[in-house]
Amino acid sequence: MQVKTYAEYASTGETPEVLFWVGCAGSFDQRAQKVTRSFVKILNHLNIRFAVLGTEESCTGDPAKRAGNEFVFQMLALQNIEVMNTYGVKRIVTTCPHCFNILKNEYPSLGGNYEVIHHSTFLQKLIDEGRIKITDTATFKGKKITYHDSCYLGRANEIYEAPRKVLEELDAELVEMKSCRTKGLCCGAGGAQMFKEDEKGTKRINIARTEEALETNAQIVAAACPFCNTMITDGVKSKEKQQDVKVFDIAELLAAGQGLETISL
Amino acid sequence: MFTILQIVLFIVLCVTAGFLAYKGYLRVYKNIMLGKSEDLSGDSSERLKNMLLIAFGQKKMFKNITPAVLHLLIYVGFVITQIELIEVFIDGLTGSHRIVFHAVKDIPALRFLYVFTISSIEVMSVFVFIATVAFLCRRWILKVPRLNKPELKGFPVMDATIILVSEIYLLACIFSMNTADMALHNGEYGFFVSNLLMPAFAGFGETALHVFERTGWWGHMLGVLALLVYLPYSKHLHILLAFPNTYFGRLQPKGYISNMPEITKEIKLMMDPSAVPPPVDANAAPVKFGAKDVFDLTWKNLLDAYTCTECGRCTAACPANQTGKLLSPRKIMMDTRDRMEEVGRIKAANNGVWIDDGKSLIENNYITVEELRACTTCNACVEECPIMISPLEIIVELRRNLVMEESNAPAEWNGMFTAMENNGAPWQFSQQDRLNWKNG
């Protein structure tokens, strides 16, 4: 897989078009790594000159900040900003809504000013420019897809349509869950909940959301966030529906539609 | 003589109510000013637009159509009734009777306008009556879930009922006043609804009709004055505070959480090996991170708390609350307001000097750690609030205090913080392996 780091670009005096911010989940989580690779396949297929920070990338600090630890957040943020400003980064694309939100909204006042794009918007623009050609229609023929709104894309940054536009490219039926868009129900991972046990309650949030997804009878739940992906995948498993319902990121689905990826339904 | 007595009584009541109301609103203002200063000036055109659309235009209410329509009826009815109140007020001060009517009755166009206005108020009042009964039914018979949550037990539910019942009382007064007045003057005024109600008063003599008219007039006036005084102690205060609260509402994307500049300073010192730390001022108050009590929140957070009318849209939308966790965003706002009131009472009892009562907004029958921990920061509560209140800002400030001041975090979070500090990821993976995904 062809991936160049910013350091490699800098050594040849070249400038990439965009920095792909992979994020911790995309770097380390096995499921999210697949999404990272699918997105890179699309970028490479379209000859987009992107760079990653590789080992120079650190967590954006999102879970620490939302848990209340501003120290850890700012330590990481200021380090990341120093790295990016040294390279003269201008544009960032990321597959993680949490990274997207914090880079776009909270880095500027710390000295990190970039154009930050979530991959849903990035892919939608490529579609609008006619650069993405769907070649595989067989995979999605007659299938239903339901899109789960990530809180940090949707309510946090009012991106509701871009991921849906991406899914509309595929030859499948897009169905909505009971709560969607501004009323979209959280997967349960945000605010650093991903990293701890739930408080006492009657149900886990990801189960509540998975139930809404299952009610649509969709074969595919589309996510645009690695944490939502994990939470709903877990929910589907605990409902023992993993044979009938699969959770994919919009990048994986779009890569499959372009014949760059095979997915099993 | 009797007229003079009425005028004197009217003025005494107005002045007394005005004084009590002044004290009540001053209390609210002082309590809001317990908070930290925050500069929210500027962007006035955008802020004005928000206020007009969201408070005046009730834009966000219309996400939920049934209560939105009912609420709009009461709101419009309330606003236009104020026109009739102007005449009531002048009559009270001068001892006149329907002074505006008598001034315009010989000018056909103005007379029409007067009758049309009062008739519109009457028609709106009928709608207000229907909407108020519907609201009482939603609360007491249909038991809409968000209006029947544990945090409403006691005063809050009584407060809500007092407001709805007093609306019905005010309507009864208006119709008693107008209909009896019409009956006394053979329907001369030609008000639309009281014209229809007149047959109900047909059996009464002149004296009885006078009593009905005067009772209605005084009852309405007293009701209005009583509500004016009660308002700063009630959740109903939103009818006023919705305007400043939407004006000063956040303009950033909802995902934005403020950065703490005091921490930026410290970290920049840490990162710069040649930095010379500034001299420490021994007299400066110690820096406190996050909020433990109402003093540590901003005045906007406290304005939010007083603006909250306890409708519970936030709580109904909260994923933690929906899945049985203790967290209720509405309770966050109510606890903040209640603590503010408590602090205000202590200060008032000690000539404005704060005497530490050893309590804070966290625990002490206010917001528990368990509630704070359950938040996913999903912004559903912020999105739902029809008047731009943010429970999330308060939750984050309290979490900051727990984590940074009290070192009170779940063990998993502490592990996560350590991993983030040591290897730049919330999990224990080496930063050197960050690019390994490309080999998969």
Cα dihedral sign for A7, A8, A11, A14? negative
Residue among B290, B324, B424 whose CB faces A201 most closely: B324
pLDDT at res. A236:
98
Average pLDDT over residues A59-81: 98
Centroid of chain to Cα B251: 19
Give the minimum alpha-carbon distance from B419 to chain A in angstroms, rounded to a whole number.
Answer: 10
Report yes or no: A156 at the B interface, CB cutoff 8 Å. Answer: yes
Between chains, do A197 and B412 touch, taking CB under 8 Å as contact?
Answer: yes
Domain that holds residue B362: 261-269+289-430
pLDDT tens digits for A153-165?
A: 999 999 999 999 9
Q: Tell me whether residues B409 and A68 touch, CB distance under 8 A.
A: yes
> For residue B277, is pLDDT > 90?
no
Question: What domain count does chain B have?
Answer: 2
Query: Do B190 and B311 share a domain, yes or no?
Result: no
Query: Any idea which residue has 């903040």 for tokens?
Result: B336
Instruction: Identify whether B324 is part of a domain.
Output: yes
Per-residue pLDDT, B287: 81
Do B229 and B294 reside in the same domain of the chain?
Answer: no
User: What integer pLDDT is reported at residue A45 of this predicted model?
Assistant: 98
Would you call A37 and B435 a contact, using CB atoms and an 8 Å cutoff? no
Alpha carbon of B63: minimum distance to chain A alpha carbons (Å) = 10
pLDDT at B281 over 80: no
Q: How many Å lie between the alpha carbon of B43 and the closest alpha carbon of chain A? A: 18
> Å from A222 to nearest chain B CA?
19
Has residue A56 got a pLDDT over 90?
yes
Same domain, yes or no: B216 and B336: no
Q: CA-CA distance, A38 to A42, in Å (whole number)?
A: 6
pLDDT of residue B279: 77
Query: Encoding tokens for residue B134?
Result: 């519907």
Kindly state the tokens that stand for B112: 């029409």
Chain A residues whose beta carbon lies within 8 Å of the beta carbon of residue B399: 66-68
Question: How many Cβ atoms from other residues are within 10 Å of residue A143's Cβ?
Answer: 15
pLDDT in tens, B325-381: 999 999 999 999 999 999 999 999 999 999 999 999 999 999 999 999 999 999 999
When scoring B262, B288, B323, B372 by the number of chain A Cβ atoms within 10 A, the one with the most, hence best to mutate, is B323
The CA distance from A27 to B368, in Å, is 36
Whether residue A264 has pLDDT greater than 90: no
The answer to the question of residue B439 being in a domain is no
Confidence of residue B2 (pLDDT cuts 50, 70, 90): confident
Is the pLDDT confidence value at A265 over 90? no
Query: How would you label B313-340 residue by residue, b for 16+ Cβ within 10 Å and e otherwise?
Result: bbbbbbbbbbbebbbbbbbbbbbbbbbb
Q: Residue B273 has what pLDDT?
A: 80
Residues B245/B54, Cβ–Cβ less than 8 Å: no
Task: Give the bridge partners for A116, in sequence order.
Answer: A92
Q: pLDDT over 90 for what percent of chain A?
A: 98
The stretch B201-229 carries a mean pLDDT of 95
Q: Which of B392, B409, B404, B407 is nearest to B290 (CA)?
A: B404
Residue B312, pLDDT above cutoff 80? yes
- Which of B2-16, B267-281, B287-301 has the weakest average pLDDT? B267-281
Chain B interface disruption, residue of A72, A86, A113, A238, most B CBs within 10 A: A72
Burial class (CB in 10 A: 0-12, 13-18, 19+), B43: exposed
Over its C-alpha atoms, chain A yields an Rg (Å, rounded) of 18
What would the pLDDT profile of B108-141 be if each residue is shown by its tens digit? 999 999 999 999 999 999 999 999 999 999 999 9
Establish, for the pair of chains A and B, how many residue pairs have beta carbons separated by less than 8 Å.
221
User: Do both B339 and B209 map to the same domain?
Assistant: no
**Same domain for B88 and B196?**
yes
Q: Does A58 touch chain B (CB under 8 A)?
A: yes
Q: How far is A69 from chain B (nearest CA, A)?
A: 6
Report yes or no on B238 lying in a domain: no
What pLDDT is attached to residue B271? 84
Chain A residues lying within 8 Å of B256, measured CB to CB: 101, 105-106
Question: Beta strands A220-223 and A144-147: pairing type?
Answer: parallel
Average pLDDT value for chain B: 96
Between CA B427 and CA B423 the distance in angstroms is 8
DSSP label at B367? B
Over residues A118-125, mean pLDDT = 98
Residue B143 sits in the same domain as residue B197: yes
Interface touch B427/A155, C-beta < 8 Å: no
Residue B275 within any structural domain of the chain: no
Q: Which of B186, B216, B233 is the last residue in one of the domains?
A: B233
Of B143, B167, B155, the residue nearest B310 (C-alpha): B155
The CB density around residue B440, as the number of other CB atoms within 10 Å, is 10
Q: Give chain A positions within 8 Å (CB) of B436.
A: 27
A101 touches chain B (CB under 8 A): yes
Neighbour tally for A232: CB within 10 Å: 26
CA angle A44, A50, A55 (to 5 degrees): 110
Name the CA dihedral angle for B90, B94, B96, B97, rounded to a multiple of 10 degrees: 30
* Residue B361 and residue B292 in contact, taking contact as beta carbons nearer than 8 Å: yes
E strand intervals along B112-267:
none
Predicted confidence at residue B274, as pLDDT, reads: 83
Annotate A176-200 with b (16+ C-beta within 10 A) or e (fewer). ebebbbbbbbbbbbbbbbbbbebbe
One domain, residues B184 and B76: yes
CB atoms within 10 A of CB B94: 12
A22 to B434: CB separation less than 8 angstroms, yes or no: yes
Q: Are A58 and A80 in contact (CB under 8 A)?
A: yes
SS3 B88: helix
Looking at residue A254, its pLDDT comes to: 98
A44 touching chain B per CB within 8 A: no
CATH of the domain at B367: 1.10.1060
A163 touching B (Cβ < 8 Å): no
Residue B277 lies in a domain: no
Residues B21 and B159 in one domain: yes
> Residue written as tokens 């990272």?
A36
Q: Is residue B173 domain-resident?
A: yes
At residue A222, what are phi and psi to the nearest 5 degrees? Answer: -95, 130
* pLDDT for the residue B344: 97
User: Contacts of residue A76 in chain B, CB cutoff 8 Å?
Assistant: 420, 424
**Does B142 map to a domain?**
yes
User: In this predicted model, what pLDDT tens digit does every residue of A128-150 receive, in sequence order?
Assistant: 999 999 999 899 999 999 999 99
What pLDDT score does B120 carry?
A: 97
Instruction: Find the residue in B nearest to A107 (Cα).
Output: B259
Asked if B271's CB is within 8 angstroms of A78's CB, the reply is yes
B62-104 per-position pLDDT tens digit: 999 999 999 999 999 999 999 999 999 999 999 999 999 999 9
What was the pLDDT predicted at A137? 85
Alpha-carbon span B273 to B271, nearest angstrom: 6
Kindly report the CA angle at A160 between A156 and A165, in degrees rounded to 5? 150
Q: Is B282 contained in some domain?
A: no
CB atoms within 10 A of CB B379: 24
For residue B205, report the phi and psi dihedrals to the nearest 5 degrees. Answer: -80, 180
Express each pLDDT in A207-234 by its tens digit.
999 999 999 999 999 999 999 999 999 9
- B314-A203-A210 Cα angle (round to 5): 85
> Is B10 in the same domain as B145?
yes
Give the residue-averaged pLDDT of B280-295. Answer: 87
Q: Are residues B216 and B322 in the same domain?
A: no
Give the C-alpha separation, A35 to A49, whole Å: 19
| Cβ neighbours of B412 in A, within 8 Å | 195-197
**Among all residues of chain B, which has the CA nearest to that of A209?**
B319
Task: Please tell me if residue A61 touches chain B, with a CB cutoff of 8 Å.
Answer: yes
CB contact under 8 A, B325 and A156: no
Query: What ipTM did this prediction achieve?
Result: 0.97
Domain final position from B188, B217, B233: B233
Burial of B347 (0-12, 13-18, 19+ CB in 10 A): middle
User: In sequence order, what DSSP letters do the residues of chain A get, joined into one string?
Assistant: ----BHHHHHHTT---SEEEE-HHHHHH-HHHHHHHHHHHHHHHHTT--EEB-GGG----SHHHHHHT-HHHHHHHHHHHHHHHHHHT--EEEES-HHHHHIIIIISGGGT---EEEEHHHHHHHHHHTT-------TTTTT-EEEEPPPTTTHHHH---HHHHHHHHTSSSEEE--SS-GGGPPP-S-TTTGGGSPPPS-SS-HHHHHHHHHHHTT-SEEEESSHHHHHHHHHHHHHTT-TTT-EEEEHHHHHHHHTTS-----
What domains are defined for chain A? 6-125 (3.40.50.1860), 135-257 (3.40.50)
| B104/B373 Cα distance (integer angstroms) | 65
Distance from CA of A132 to the nearest CA of B (A): 23
Taking contacts as CB-CB distances below 8 angstroms, the residues of chain B near A196 are 373, 410, 412-413, 416
The contacts of residue B290 (CB under 8 Å, 6+ apart) are: A68, B296, B397, B398, B399, B400, B401, B402, B403, B404, B405
| Three-state secondary-structure class, residue B329 | helix
Interface probe, candidates A29, A39, A71, chain B, greatest B C-beta count within 10 A? A71
Q: Which of B321, B412, B417 to mutate to test the interface with A (most CBs of A within 10 A)?
A: B417
User: Which amino acid belongs to residue A228?
Assistant: C
Q: Are residues B227 and B293 in the same domain?
A: no
Q: Is the pLDDT of residue A72 over 90?
A: yes
Among chain B residues, CA nearest to A58: B424
Q: For an interface test with A, which of B65, B260, B376 has the most A Cβ atoms less than 10 Å from its Cβ?
A: B376
The answer to whether A111 touches A81, Cβ cutoff 8 Å, is yes
Q: Which residue of B has its CA nearest to A208?
A: B323
Give yes or no: residues B191 and B87 share one domain: yes
